[in-house]
Structure 1
């Protein structure tokens, strides 16, 4: 009789199946499925080793691991435990236990690599005579297994330490250890992280938790470290690849739409889908790329696929609302955000999106109430504080805007909140306070020292203070150097080019500024931001007619009059009769 064993590796490939939403998920008995399969990794032969190891365990102990659990609780238990923590009978020989442990190691790199090696190890066991095999005292020397250290405590002969020479050696070792502890103090946090046992499931969970704070650059960096750590060990991990795509999409949106980030996001989203087309996170990442390219129908279609695979994915709900907002379908966005806020009452993103829709509709009171709820849910997030402050500035409540940003900074320092505070203080004319805020935004311990925009804002503000021109030029130099790195990667990015032209003009490099202006205007003649920066650059370079022409185009293309009036470099130009003409 032939018996077919289910190792948890079968996959339902019929996308049109209508019997269940979970038909597209990996099929099989969870108890025998390797932990990496439960977190989205692709199928590999080493997963067979795990499944056979579980069967061995069941044969030796009479029960499966976590036999009282089923479904998601069972999957969580298998992903969060090591097989050496499973209950083992005391009479079972240590090396026999070790064989099963090596076959069922949660970390793939610690598991027996192939079934061929399992066969070799089993042959050693099979070579033993039956009495020895069934005996409670198995001959361990006859087994050639890669055994772990015996966990039983060993007795130490303390008599040997009474000898003078060994006492001196021990004293020297203690002194050396104490010196090492003192010297390594700045690196304790990193050392502690490196000593933690690697857990793929834990790294994935930590990465997704950090990704929920995508509005904060340092948390985005933290999330990337977790996902890269997974991929360094499992290069074909679909979920980590999809998460990396989302990180690159956020970097694109947060960093002036640098196309290099969007290209990386698209490449990783496509790779994730190729690795596992039935992973909801892959379709969500692909939808994010479509949304950033303003391809809203394709984005919504991908989100439908993602929600079919995982109806409770808050990331899919969040992105679906975002797409509707970007597509100006505000009524639909408002309805969906209200549903999501009820479905995910502890998630701060949905009240924040409600506030965003209310603000676009001009309902500022409702928007502030929604942002306040988001802050209460996650006080250490940044975006709700910043959005609330922007509404308060529109209402001429500048002091209230300053207060709410300072309240956010008391809970958590960060470049985003510090930059927002600097902008509000600058608009109020408090240049000393704005300088302090911008310095915090680019500091190494509280902000982001690699943000060229932050350094440029600091330089702009310093130029308004007497005796700070040298410091302003140094800040512009820093901004220019950081921007050049990004421009080398994206030489045709109009946002980067127009800013480089402006920085060059501020530093008196007329030749470079004019060269960059000529190129960027040719690339994007209908971009209002480009025309505005060109106007400021031309005015600094002493080319008033060109500045007036570029500014007229910026206004015609819809550039904000308030932003034009707030630009200090255009103060003299705005008094020119040609500017005042309708």
Structure 2
């Protein structure tokens, strides 16, 4: 849960600091390193032997909990907290007593606390602080609904995980010892009423949130309250430094949110964490120039309207005449950009702007995004006040970021989107891009509000509905995502992106025939889109239409020789039993991307079944293991990666490592049928069919690809095993599966040559 590097668990572990000599355990847990300590106890990085995973173990000081009544109260609260599932909360797994100490264990989060980040980089910008506060407030709201309080919100208890997710730690539990002594919290964050003996409440948690936000944007506290008497605390709070005096550049909505959270009178604070979250969301729509007390910027340049009283249709015709262009092109542009009459395309840049917009719409070609960036930049050189060009540039930079994950590109996208809204706050398209960025960062509520804003400004914006579908899908609302995408298709029937995306979503939902229909529609609109042919080829494979799949994948390859297309053609060749062809495809994929452990693993499998010999097979599997082990250090709980490692180790005869990883993959799998299937296949390779049968039967009955199962040479013997057929009956398989006869299998690996 703290700023510790990952380490191996294979060697001897010396007793961590703070433990008596020779002590390196607590109950069944192995204590690997002490990573934190304070007045309540100590935090250890520990190994849970039951789940075979790393955890953060918090041990309260001896004597902190006295008697069964106190322990029962703590246990009830821990159980209530463990039941709360929220993306911004560190999950509690258990609580127990050993050796006279109460301890509880949670996820071990690899990241940095806000206090560490604040010390390293200085005060945060208000937007970043508001986004962090929004996530913390959402987490706080989720737990308040269960009747639990936090009591110790501070920068040390908020973690930014590697990858950017914000996590609030130690809900309720961090303050257990303080609670029992009547003291709740860290003095600099404590609400005034707590100093006079009043109990902690939702309002006192809200106050601490206000201090947290203040501290993030200033690096200071509104009042220093540590080590002073209640009377001195009241005086210090009355003289606290206003946020505006420290940061006069902060916009008014953010100031109001912080000040209201820190009201001395609890009744004047936000009524809930949800209300604070709403205020922070509102503040994210503000610019620095909104601050009435700070320096005022002049009014944003507004484009002169040719026909102020005209409707959209009249303006389309007017601009078409002015620019010498077809009205159809402008209609398409207005659908893309948001058809607000305040932002008419200037005649001197109309051709360049529409060309850049067209490149952005056809960004499935890799070079088009870069060309769109150049096009929008050229437009802005001629007309720096053209808001729609700023919006287009921001969207293009975001597209490049999605492809490369270069953080500089995300910063550039945000910068140009903000400029677009400063030039014209009534544009829909910048809000769409803001929503996509927020959704990518996990800020679902903010993303939804920004999409709603875009749609309110332009109810006919296909981009908004396409992005709304992305948000719905990310939150498991598949039917709503289908509806939103159909709306986008209706609004922009000539835009191939929406049927392409709908086809992909339908495929993910198992609606294969509808996926085919949508993907064929996308191809008819954009016959040069390699992705559409690729997706259609994958759907054909699921439908067991292998010749059609091969034709579509080869069309995709001709348009864009992407490594994943070679990889998929290799898989197709294996399904058809053409193992030498599979080897050739995987080799070509590796030439394009030599760092894919999956491709090396697939190559090992193809070598094995093609009879290439155990030297080549072993080299491929060992290369897959080398790459996958390096990845495991970055993502030690990736169930799919662990499952692949288990399979590779089994294939080279390392039963010990394979058994460890297959159990771990199942522990982290969240019942994913693909991971269950891979685990079953691994157990079959290990010769443990009694474990393989129930896993394979479960995955097949839950919808795992029947084609792969029926054609897999690994599972030929298992398919005909009466015990497996009985397991299918027990699992109530929804469809008949044609069994293939084969000999009973023996353990298979390249070391013994058994297939």
2 CA distance for matches of 1:380 and 1:429?
A: 31
Residue 523 of structure 1 pairs with residue 668 of structure 2: yes
Counterpart position of 1:494: 639
Q: Is the 8 A contact 2:360 2:372 kept in 1?
A: no
Residue 481 of structure 1 pairs with residue 623 of structure 2: no
Counterpart position of 2:172: none
1 CA distance for matches of 2:368 and 2:632?
A: 22
Distance 1:369 1:574, change over 3 A: closer
**Residue 301 of structure 2: which of 1, 16, 28 is its match?**
28
Q: How does 1:30-49 map onto structure 2 within 5 Å? A: none
Displacement of 1:461 in angstroms is 1.9
**Residue 558 of structure 2: which of 402, 410, 425 is its match?**
410
Residue 377 of structure 1 pairs with residue 525 of structure 2: yes
Counterpart position of 1:39: none
Distance 1:556 1:221, change over 3 A: farther
Q: Is the 8 A contact 2:683 2:691 kept in 1?
A: yes
Counterpart position of 1:580: 725
Counterpart position of 2:545: 397
Residue 471 of structure 1 pairs with residue 616 of structure 2: yes
Quick one: higher RCO (CA 8 Å, sep 6+), 1 or 2? 1
Cα deviation 1:55-74 (Å, max 9, x = unaligned): xxxxxxxxxxxxxxx95544
Displacement of 1:366 in angstroms is 6.1
Distance 1:73 1:290, change over 3 A: closer
Distance 1:376 1:311, change over 3 A: same
Q: Is the 8 A contact 2:397 2:410 kept in 1?
A: no
Counterpart position of 1:458: 603
1 CA distance for matches of 2:560 and 2:707?
A: 31
Distance 1:361 1:78, change over 3 A: closer
Q: How does 1:125-164 map onto structure 2 within 5 Å? A: none
Counterpart position of 2:709: 564
Displacement of 1:492 in angstroms is 2.0
Displacement of 1:535 in angstroms is 2.0
**Residue 689 of structure 2: which of 522, 544, 549 is its match?**
544
Counterpart position of 2:679: 534
Cα-Cα RMSD: 5.2
Residue aligned with 1:571, SS = helix
Residue 430 of structure 1 pairs with residue 578 of structure 2: yes
Q: Is the 8 A contact 1:246 1:288 kept in 2?
A: no
Q: Is the 8 A contact 1:538 1:546 kept in 2?
A: yes
Residue 350 of structure 1 pairs with residue 498 of structure 2: yes
Q: Is the 8 A contact 1:249 1:289 kept in 2?
A: no
Q: How does 1:73-222 map onto structure 2 within 5 Å? A: 73-74=345-346, 77=349, 212-213=363-364
Q: Is the 8 A contact 2:369 2:399 kept in 1?
A: no
Structure 1 spans left out of the alignment, 5+ residues:
1-10, 17-22, 32-69, 81-200, 230-236, 252-260
Q: How does 1:241-260 map onto structure 2 within 5 Å? A: none
Displacement of 1:565 in angstroms is 3.2
Distance 1:394 1:555, change over 3 A: closer
Distance 1:209 1:468, change over 3 A: farther
2 CA distance for matches of 1:281 and 1:496?
A: 38
1 CA distance for matches of 2:694 and 2:517?
A: 43
Structure 2 spans left out of the alignment, 5+ residues:
1-250, 255-280, 283-288, 291-297, 305-341, 378-389, 728-755
Displacement of 1:349 in angstroms is 0.8
Q: Is the 8 A contact 1:220 1:247 kept in 2?
A: no
Displacement of 1:433 in angstroms is 2.6
Distance 1:289 1:545, change over 3 A: farther
More helix by share: 1
More strand by share: 2
Q: TM-score, normalised by structure 1?
A: 0.51
Residue 442 of structure 1 pairs with residue 590 of structure 2: yes
Cα deviation 1:286-312 (Å, max 9, x = unaligned): 644776799876653342234456777
Displacement of 1:351 in angstroms is 2.4
2 CA distance for matches of 1:361 and 1:517?
A: 27
Distance 1:376 1:475, change over 3 A: farther
Distance 1:393 1:563, change over 3 A: closer
2 CA distance for matches of 1:515 and 1:267?
A: 42
2 CA distance for matches of 1:512 and 1:434?
A: 28
Cα deviation 1:196-216 (Å, max 9, x = unaligned): xxxxx99x9899578x33xx8
Residue 300 of structure 1 pairs with residue 448 of structure 2: yes
